[in-house]
Amino acid sequence: MLSDAGSDHDKDRGGSAGLGTDHDTSRGSILDAPVADGSDGDSPPGAGWHRVGPRDDCFADAPCMQATVNGVKVGLFLVDDAVYAIDDLCTHGHAMLTDGELDGFEVECPLHGGVFDVRSGKPMCSPVTRPVRTHPVRFYQGGVYVKVEG
């Protein structure tokens, strides 16, 4: 196994839902993160890339999944054969975006209905005002890989 990444769509996420907690996103910024677009890359992923799982299995049941990489809960979203990765924790309160509804490139937070664009992490409507971090994703030999800075 190449990584500590693992699917863990658990419901025990510690803490309770709260209003206006605005998590710190200063560790990263909105990036034009590379996106796995449906084709395998030519070269093996290097240092820092974590294998999430087999591409055919990751989205077999739903268009999104959660993985924990470097201690960060990451939401991966499949849209039109491309995969986008963002921090799963909403920047407004304690809710996981993979528990929300995905509509095109937008995911709606299940707690208060804030919406993020999964391509950029950008907040699209109230009450969310701060972006979530994006993370690069790629495919290699049938696997989905994501790179997450701690």
Question: Applying CB under 6 A, which of residues 53, 114, 121, 123 lies at the interface with ligand FES?
Answer: 114
Least distance (Å) from ligand FES to the CB of residue 48?
A: 28
- In the complex, which residue's CB is closest to ligand FES? 93
Least distance (Å) from ligand FES to the CB of residue 134?
A: 17
Residue with tokens 């921090």: 87
111 binds ligand FES (CB under 6 A): yes
112 binds ligand FES (CB under 6 A): yes
123 binds ligand FES (CB under 6 A): no
Question: Applying CB under 6 A, which of residues 58, 69, 74, 90 lies at the interface with ligand FES?
Answer: 90
Binding site for ligand FES (CB under 6 A): 90, 92-93, 95, 109, 111-112, 114, 127-128
